[in-house]
Amino acid sequence: MKDLPENELTILLNKVGAGDNKAIEIVYRHYQATVFSFIRLRVRDDAAAEEILNDTFMIAFSKSAHYNASSTYKTWLCGIAKNVCGTWMRKQNVALARAMVHIDGDELEGLPDPDWNVLSQLESREMDEIIRACIDRLPVAHREAFFWTWFEEEPMERVAERLECPIGTIKSRLFNARAKISDCVRNAVGGAQAYV
């Protein structure tokens, strides 16, 4: 998705700063899908991603005067989203650590074996769900490079600049991401247990 034209964005952000709900809605609708996709690459929980999306826009709208056009507005929003994701993940890790319970081997012996019938799971899934799951399994650095080049169709030079790494690194990440997604989809469709 392209950014709004700079002059139009400036007018809208001034209105956002003044509390104009129509301007808020226009900016939100224009950038919402891109920012959600960026968040979803980092957070696998759709409900949490929605919450992070809302928090991101609340922060962005409350600080609209801080946007100085040194980067695109989309990049600025994704920077805020990245920070909100980090905060969410830290909270999740603390909550998980508090919820962990020690289980000794005797308690595990009485539990039934899980049934991992991969073929029946795959029959009920659509291909886009399989691809989404395969993308989710990529390392964050590969997902980000894949997101900016594939979904946002940005040139590799801009992606390298955005992610602050050499263009060769971006090419490598994209090559590895495509190979891993391809293998993952092939294994999922073929019924291999690598998908589980």
3-state helix, strand, coil in the chain (%, to 5): 75, 0, 25
Report, as an integer, the average pLDDT of 89-117: 54
Residues 74 and 120 in one domain: no
CA dist 70 and 137 (Å) reads 32
Within-domain flag for 156: yes
Q: What is the pTM of this model?
A: 0.58
Q: Can you tell me the distance from the alpha carbon of 172 to that of 60, in angstroms, rounded to the nearest whole number? A: 33
Structure-block tokens of residue 117: 């019938």
| Shared-domain flag, residues 57 and 84 | yes
Angle, CA 18 vertex, CA 32 and CA 34 arms, to 5° = 10
Could you tell me the two tokens for 70?
Answer: 């040194």
Domain of 181? 116-190
Residue indicated by tokens 């495509």 = 178
Task: Report pLDDT digits (tens) over 145-186.
Answer: 888 887 778 888 888 888 888 988 888 888 888 888 888 877
User: From the DSSP assignment, how many helices (H) and strands (E) are in the chain?
Assistant: 10, 0
Count of residues making up the chain:
196
Q: How many domains in the chain?
A: 2
pLDDT confidence bin for 126, thresholds 50/70/90: low
Domain with 160 in it: what CATH number? 1.10.10.10
- Half-sphere CA count of 15, side-chain side, radius 13 A: 14
DSSP 75: H
What confidence tens digit (pLDDT) does each residue in 15-63 have? Answer: 998 888 999 999 999 999 999 988 988 888 888 999 999 999 999 998 8
